[in-house]
Amino acid sequence: MANQTNTGNPHVDLAYRRKKNAEEMKHQVISFVLMIALTLIAFFAVGYNEFSHWFSVPFILLLAIVQVAFQLYYFMHMSHKGHELPSLFIYGGVLVAFVTVWAFMTVVWW
């Protein structure tokens, strides 16, 4: 993979990779905890009667977007180098889908 550099020196490599992996692991654990927290907040937003739907629906959508970002960038390593094309395609698809939905919301149906 793109993140495994190779200096030719096994010792440096090993130490470097250890450190890298530990850091990676920390990120994963943090984002995992955050994701669980976000899920709980989502449940709470629905369960709590004081919030109107006009608040909780957009709010949950926002949480969903954050979750997707975590998923892609921390669990699926999109933050690493060598993911330019997947990003291009994902954002291209998001853009096309967004414009389509936007067209429906603004000119086609309302």
Partner 1 sequence: MSTVARKKSLIWDYLTTVDHKKIAILYLIAGGFFFLVGGLEALFIRIQLAKPNNDFLVGGLYNQVLTMHGTTMIFFAAMPLVFAMMNAVVPIQIGARDVAFPFLNALGFWLFFFGGVFLNCSWFLGGAPDAGWTSYASLSLESPGHGIDFYVLGLQISGFGTLIGGINFLVTIINMRAPGMTYMRMPMFTWATFVTSALILFAFPPLTVGLIFMMMDRLFGGNFYHPAAGGNTIIWEHLFWIFGHPEVYILVLPAFGIFSEIFATFSRKRLFGYSSMVFATVLIGFLGFMVWAHHMFTVGMGPIANAIFAVATMAIAVPTGIKIFNWLFTMWGGNIRFTTPMMYAVAFIPSFVMGGVTGVMNAAAAADYQYHDSYFVVAHFHYVIVGGVVFALLAGAHYWWPKMFGKMLNETLGKITFWLFFIGFHLTFFIQHFLGLMGMPRRVFTYLPGQGFETGNMISTVGAFFMAAATIVLLINVIVTSVKGQKAEADAWGDGRTLEWAVASPPPEYNFAQTPLVRGLDAYWIEKMEGKKGLTPAEPLGDIHMPNSSILPFVISLGLFIAAFGFMYRTEASWGLAVGIIGLLITLGSMFLRSVIDDHGFHIHKEEVLEAEKGVKA
Size of interface with partner 1, in residues (CB under 8 A): 11
**What is the token pair recorded at 19?**
């450190």
Closest by Cα among 25, 97, 102, 103 to 68:
97
The reply to whether 93 sits near partner 1 by the rule CB under 8 A is yes
Which range in 6-14, 39-47, 54-62, 95-103 contacts partner 1 by CB under 8 A? 95-103
The reply to whether 99 sits near partner 1 by the rule CB under 8 A is yes
What single DSSP character describes residue 92? H
The reply to whether 62 sits near partner 1 by the rule CB under 8 A is no
Which range in 1-9, 30-38, 51-59, 91-99 contacts partner 1 by CB under 8 A? 91-99
The CA angle 82-19-4, to the nearest 5 degrees, is 30
Per DSSP, helices labelled H in 48-83 are 53-70
Which range in 31-39, 59-67, 71-79, 86-94 contacts partner 1 by CB under 8 A? 86-94
**Dist. CA 67–CA 44, nearest whole Å:** 16
Binding site for partner 1 (CB under 8 A): 85, 89, 92-93, 96, 99-100, 103-104, 107-108
